[in-house]
Structure 1
């Protein structure tokens, strides 16, 4: 998936969680966007990889693409680090929600992900799509519509005062 689809997936998923949990949707969305981009730190051409090129190259050299940073192990480590250094549940849930949305979207591609890293098992859906295809654009559009719905619901239910 492209970066824009991952961002939209993170927005949609975090708004849905914010609505369901009656949490601050603004914090959830911000963290959801970061979480949606974080797993691609292993790819130097990604949005986050271009922001942190040295870290991106090191992670790619050690693990490759769509392995460690696309795994449940990475999800657990990030959760632990957030609890340790930034103990804020809304921030943590938003970030993890964005990461999970990234994983789900990448499981819809032919390459899949190594969800159970270090096991060499590729996880992907039975029907897959090509990155940047018309089907991905359709998925992006559906996610955008869903984000409007969940955004309206989350903002309608959450009290900012």
Structure 2
């Protein structure tokens, strides 16, 4: 999934949770967006990977794309690193939780791609495809565009509801 689709789908899916927990702040929205694109740092041609080439190239060489960063271990490492960094700079730990929510949303979204995600790496490398190989998208194809537009419509609808 392209970064713009990850961001929009994540916002559309998680906005109700932000609202219902009274957590709708600029910091939390930014954190959620960062988390929604971060797992693809393992791909040098991704939005984030292209902007962190040295790091991205190294991660891809060691783990590959949709490797360890696209697993539960990756989620745990990300959350602990985010908590450490934010506490070191005396920033709200809530940002770590919302960025981790974005990270998890990214993995769920990738699980609906044709190839799925190996959630249990490095213990179990079989990829899980949540649509049972019947419902899936392919990155950059019409199926992703339809998903992106549906998420845009859903997000727009939610924003209208918030402002009325």
Question: Which TM-score applies when normalising by structure 2?
Answer: 0.86
Q: Structure 1: 5+ residue runs without aligned partners? A: 157-161
Name the residue aligned to 2:141: 133
User: C-alpha root-mean-square deviation of aligned residues, in Å?
Assistant: 1.8
Name the residue aligned to 1:120: 125
1:110 matched to 2:114? The reply is yes
* Cα displacement (A) at 1:143: 1.1
1:96 matched to 2:104? The reply is no
Question: Which TM-score applies when normalising by structure 1?
Answer: 0.87
Query: 1:75-94, aligned counterparts within 5 Å?
Result: 75-87=75-87, 88-94=92-98
SS of structure 2 residue aligned to 1:136: helix
Query: 1:9-20, aligned counterparts within 5 Å?
Result: 9-20=9-20
- 1:90–1:152: structure 2 CA closer, same or farther, 3 Å change rule? farther
Q: Structure 2: 5+ residue runs without aligned partners? A: none
The structure, 1 or 2, with the larger RCO (C-alpha pairs under 8 Å, 6+ apart) is: 1
